[in-house]
């Protein structure tokens, strides 16, 4: 041994003895003794064994120690630690991109036990740095992804960039503003970026000899901020140039920092031209390199106060309207150009001006509509002359009627109207009786002969603008003229037959600003093109239905001529469906179809035949409401159109793939031909905008239809809907359902969504042939023969027991009836329903499984 054995340097730890007595030839047994040495006070030690003559052998000795491995936990890293006692304290450090939170924070600590295991949770104040967030299990701090940021250290996650800001880098602690957007010095980095406001608009001056009061409406766009204020500038224009008004002019309540939308400018020169400029300002206006958001108005002060209007009186009142008039001022040197009324709910006087509304009139009477029931309104009127506006008259109060007063006041009128109606009905009934005697054999079907749309026995509902001797008279009667200053074009969104289609804003005084679609008539047009262009407005202006596109008005007093309609955010239905292929459920698609059918039901009741019903002529708004549009008839009258959708036929252009066979062959357009087109629209919707008949030529389509071939069901199309399509495509127009029947059928499907789960076989592609609707069952004279012909004889007993003993009775079977008969397999249901539909066509039965 080394050093040599000595009793003193060594310390006896334990005595090791054999636990077992071994016999020669017996089983060998070993015992193991584990000893704990320490604690150590030096860098090493000697280990010695002293034998005292025992009959035993030391077979092996293993010397080892235990340690706690390195560990990452709670965003802290702890090193490998050897316990020198029962428990050893270990000091760690924060992981990368993490730091101690707070100036007095202590380093992370954890304890290592003598058995080499870490004890409990660490004591750590480590948090991720700005731009980083804790990863899973708090093992690391990872960088915020692009488009996200983290402003300060802490345990929180990264956040998306505030509105109108962005970052393209990872690990961002803030986001930069997008072009034209800014943050005010007082804004924090986690606040949205904002921009300067748009100019104020609708400036109204009130002028007298040496002062003017200007009122205005707030900007359309506040820039996303609430710290909006206004400043006022005055210029005097004596010659071709204008100069500031100078110190002699005062502003009330102030020139800058205005929060109310009204200011009075005093000390102006009499009978002089002035320019008053109102500028909208917010907290980031000074950071923008653009010019101020201002609006100006030219005024001329007068030597005399303009004419004063007074004496407003009420002629009639209802629950929602007031009819007012006033005497025309006399003894005035001014020509009155216009009157302006300001009316406010009485309890709101003293509120902000936007609670009041304005209405202009060129006459000395006006009707105020869209008012609250049983509410008092204070009304003022003023005149506009070449010298400007006069002061408003003294306010007078008028009240709309409550329900009971309105009812009682109209009772006598109602009785008189009822008596008159009874007499009128009696006269009309007598006339109809006489006409029927002369025309008993005439077809009462809807007719479009000579452009006159008539219903029943000649009662005219829809008025064709082309029947007017002067078509402009129809435009004036059915379309409202809009001042061009109320319309602002923002962007071009498409092109029409006559010119561009734009999106813009319409702001009519007293009404909320809203987006509109604007059709323009391109330059160089002929009188006929202008007449054809405006004819759509005179047609559209006669319709008022939630599923018909709404006409806002027209602009004919300036160039270009425009038609203004409501704006439909999602555009044409066919392109919208292709863009969202497979994104809608069957019940949503049926809801769209129901809206289109409802609009067409309204048009048919108005005796209007659309002629061009297709998904491309259906518009969709942001709420997925579908509205029928495109009421122009010119495409059917012109041969020089280059659109391949429309093909020449008997002197006009018609859309072959959407048009009924009798309309193609004989130009017989009726509501029944619109029903055929609606069936094609159904197919377009359920196929998410697929082109009908795919790449077949128009002539091939005509030949296939004449041979009784029809479109197959689109993929995953409910059987009920395809059956309804086939009914719409019946060759005999009298066998097709009416739009009222179609709306009723779709309502039943909506109320019973489970019926939409029965789908037809997949089709709708060039690789799938058209369905042959020609009868292959003409030889079947009994139910048994019919079931055997379609290989469904297993259900023969069920049909007979249920009372279906003839082919005629079978044609009335519905999908629900099949379930009651025990036909539960979807494939068998489809096969039987398809055959029943063929039987209906064979028997020319107008019944439909959904009606």
Residue 149: pLDDT over 60: yes
Pick from 209-218, 348-357, 406-415, 669-678 the range whose average pLDDT is largest. 669-678
Average pLDDT rounded to a whole number, residues 422-437: 71
Q: What is the CATH code of the structural domain delimited by 469-567?
A: 3.30.200.20
pLDDT in tens, 290-301: 778 899 888 887
Average pLDDT rounded to a whole number, residues 215-222: 88
pLDDT in tens, 367-378: 998 898 888 999
**What is the band of 434 on the pLDDT scale with cuts at 50, 70, 90?**
low
Say what the pLDDT of residue 851 is.
41
Q: Report the Cα 565 to chain-centroid distance in Å.
A: 17
Say what the pLDDT of residue 201 is.
83
Among residues 294, 169, 286, 168, which one has the least CA distance to residue 231?
Answer: 294
Top-level class of domain 581-634+655-758 = mainly alpha
CATH superfamily of 313-399: Immunoglobulins (2.60.40.10)
Average pLDDT rounded to a whole number, residues 522-547: 86
Domains 210-301 and 313-399 share a fold: yes
Say what the pLDDT of residue 724 is.
94
pLDDT in tens, 102-117: 888 889 999 999 888 9
Say what the pLDDT of residue 791 is.
81
The CA distance from 819 to 316, in Å, is 63
- Among candidate residues 464, 612, 674, 727, the one labeled active-site is 612
Residue 612 annotated to the active site? yes
Say what the pLDDT of residue 496 is.
73
Least confident of 334-343, 426-435, 514-523, 685-694: 426-435
Among residues 593, 646, 657, 659, which one has the least CA distance to residue 620?
Answer: 593
**What is the band of 349 on the pLDDT scale with cuts at 50, 70, 90?**
very low
The CA distance from 248 to 355, in Å, is 34
**What is the band of 196 on the pLDDT scale with cuts at 50, 70, 90?**
very high
Among residues 186, 260, 246, which one has the least CA distance to residue 216?
Answer: 260
Mean pLDDT of the chain: 82
Q: How many CB atoms lie within 10 A of CB 355?
A: 12
pLDDT in tens, 28-60: 777 888 888 777 777 778 888 887 777 777 888
Residue 538: pLDDT over 70: yes
Task: Provide the residue ranges of all domains of the chain, joining segments of one domain with +.
Answer: 210-301, 313-399, 469-567, 581-634+655-758, 783-843
DSSP 765-792: STTSPPEE-S-S-TT--SHHHHHHHTT-
The model scores a pTM over 0.75: no
Least confident of 437-441, 608-612, 801-805: 437-441
DSSP H helical ranges for 403-552: 403-409, 411-438, 471-478, 527-540
Q: Residue 28 annotated as binding?
A: no
The residues, ordered by sequence, that sit 6+ positions from 652 with a Cβ below 8 Å of its Cβ are 636, 637, 638, 639, 667
pLDDT in tens, 253-280: 899 999 998 999 988 887 788 899 999 9
**What is the band of 411 on the pLDDT scale with cuts at 50, 70, 90?**
low
Say what the pLDDT of residue 690 is.
92
Residue 846: pLDDT over 50: no
Average pLDDT rounded to a whole number, residues 767-781: 59
For domain 210-301, the CATH architecture is Sandwich (2.60)
Say what the pLDDT of residue 645 is.
59
For domain 783-843, the CATH architecture is Orthogonal Bundle (1.10)
């Amino acid at each position: 041994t080394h050093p040599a054995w000595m009793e003193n340097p060594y310390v006896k730890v334990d005595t090791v003895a054999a636990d077992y007595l071994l016999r020669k030839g017996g089983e060998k047994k070993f015992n193991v003794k584990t000893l704990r040495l320490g604690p150590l006070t030096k860098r090493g030690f000697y280990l010695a064994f002293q034998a005292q003559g025992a009959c035993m052998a030391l077979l092996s000795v293993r010397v080892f120690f235990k340690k706690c491995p390195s560990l990452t936990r709670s965003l802290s890293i702890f090193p490998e630690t050897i316990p020198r006692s029962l428990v050893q304290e270990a000091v760690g450090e924060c992981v990368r991109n993490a730091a101690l939170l707070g100036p007095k924070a202590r380093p992370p600590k954890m304890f290592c036990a003598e058995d080499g295991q870490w004890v409990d949770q660490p004591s750590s104040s480590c948090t991720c740095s700005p731009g980083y967030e804790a990863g899973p299990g708090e093992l690391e701090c990872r960088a915020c992804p692009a488009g996200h940021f983290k402003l300060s250290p802490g345990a929180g996650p990264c956040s998306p960039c505030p509105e109108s800001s962005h970052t393209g880098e990872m690990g961002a602690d803030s986001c930069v503003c997008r072009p034209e957007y800014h943050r005010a010095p007082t804004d924090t980095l986690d606040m949205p970026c904002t921009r300067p406001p748009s100019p104020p608009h609708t400036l109204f001056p009130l002028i007298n000899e040496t002062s003017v009061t200007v009122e205005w409406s707030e900007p359309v766009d506040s820039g996303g901020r609430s710290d909006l204020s206004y400043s006022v500038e005055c210029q005097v224009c004596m010659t071709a140039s204008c100069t500031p008004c100078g110190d002699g002019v005062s502003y009330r309540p102030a020139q800058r920092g205005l929060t109310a939308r009204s200011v009075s400018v005093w000390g102006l020169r009499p009978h002089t031209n002035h320019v008053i400029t109102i500028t909208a300002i917010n907290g980031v206006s000074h950071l923008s390199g653009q010019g101020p958001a201002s609006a100006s108005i030219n005024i001329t002060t007068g030597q005399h106060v303009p004419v004063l209007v007074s004496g407003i009186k009420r002629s009639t009142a209802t629950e929602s309207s007031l009819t007012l008039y006033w005497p025309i001022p006399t003894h005035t040197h001014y020509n009155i150009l216009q009157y302006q009324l300001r009316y406010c709910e009485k309890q709101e006087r003293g509120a902000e001006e936007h609670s009041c509304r304005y209405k202009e009139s060129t006459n000395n009477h006006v009707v105020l509509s869209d008012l609250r029931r049983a509410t008092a309104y204070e009304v003022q009127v003023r005149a506009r002359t070449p010298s400007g506006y006069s002061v408003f008259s003294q306010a007078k109060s008028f009240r709309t009627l409550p329900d009971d007063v309105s009812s009682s006041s109209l009772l006598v009128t109602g009785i008189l109207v009822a008596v008159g109606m009874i007499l009128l009905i009696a006269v009309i009934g007598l006339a109809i009786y006489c006409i029927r005697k002369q025309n008993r054999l005439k077809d009462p079907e809807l007719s479009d002969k000579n452009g006159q749309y008539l219903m029943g026995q000649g009662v005219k509902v829809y008025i064709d603008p082309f029947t007017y001797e002067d078509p402009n008279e129809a435009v004036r009667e059915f379309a409202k003229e809009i001042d061009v200053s109320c319309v602002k074009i923002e962007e071009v969104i498409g092109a029409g037959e006559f010119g561009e289609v734009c999106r813009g804003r319409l702001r009519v005084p007293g009404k909320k600003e809203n987006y509109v679609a604007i059709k323009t008539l391109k330059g160089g047009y002929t009188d006929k093109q202008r007449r054809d262009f405006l004819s759509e407005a005179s047609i559209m202006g006669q319709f008022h239905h939630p599923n018909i596109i709404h006409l806002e008005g027209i602009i004919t007093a300036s160039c270009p001529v425009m038609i203004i309609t409501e704006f439909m955010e999602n555009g044409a239905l066919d392109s919208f469906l292709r863009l969202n292929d497979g994104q809608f459920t069957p019940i949503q698609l049926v809801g769209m179809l129901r809206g289109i059918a409802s609009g067409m039901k309204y048009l048919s009741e108005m005796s209007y035949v659309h002629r061009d019903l297709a998904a491309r002529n259906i518009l969709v708004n942001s709420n997925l409401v579908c509205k029928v549009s495109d009421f122009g008839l010119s495409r059917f009258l012109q041969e020089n159109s280059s659109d391949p959708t429309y093909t020449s036929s008997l002197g006009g252009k018609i859309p072959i793939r959407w048009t009924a066979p009798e309309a193609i062959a004989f130009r017989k357009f009726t509501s029944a031909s619109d029903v055929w087109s609606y069936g094609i629209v159904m197919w377009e919707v359920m196929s998410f905008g697929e082109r009908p008949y795919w790449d077949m030529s128009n002539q091939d389509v005509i030949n296939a239809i004449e041979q009784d071939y029809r479109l197959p069901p689109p993929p995953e199309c409910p059987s009920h809907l395809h059956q309804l399509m086939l009914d719409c495509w019946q060759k005999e127009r009298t066998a097709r359902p009416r739009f009222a029947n179609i709306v009723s059928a779709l309502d039943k499907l909506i109320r019973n969504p489970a019926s939409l789960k029965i789908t037809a076989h997949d089709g709708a592609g060039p690789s799938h042939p058209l369905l042959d609707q020609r009868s292959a069952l003409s030889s079947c004279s009994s139910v048994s023969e019919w079931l055997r012909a379609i290989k469904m004889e297993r259900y023969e007993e069920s049909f007979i027991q249920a009372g279906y003993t003839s082919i005629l009775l079978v044609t009335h079977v519905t999908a629900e009836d099949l379930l009651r008969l025990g036909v539960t397999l979807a494939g068998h249901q489809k096969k039987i329903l398809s055959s029943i539909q063929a039987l209906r066509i064979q028997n020319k039965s107008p019944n439909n499984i959904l009606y």
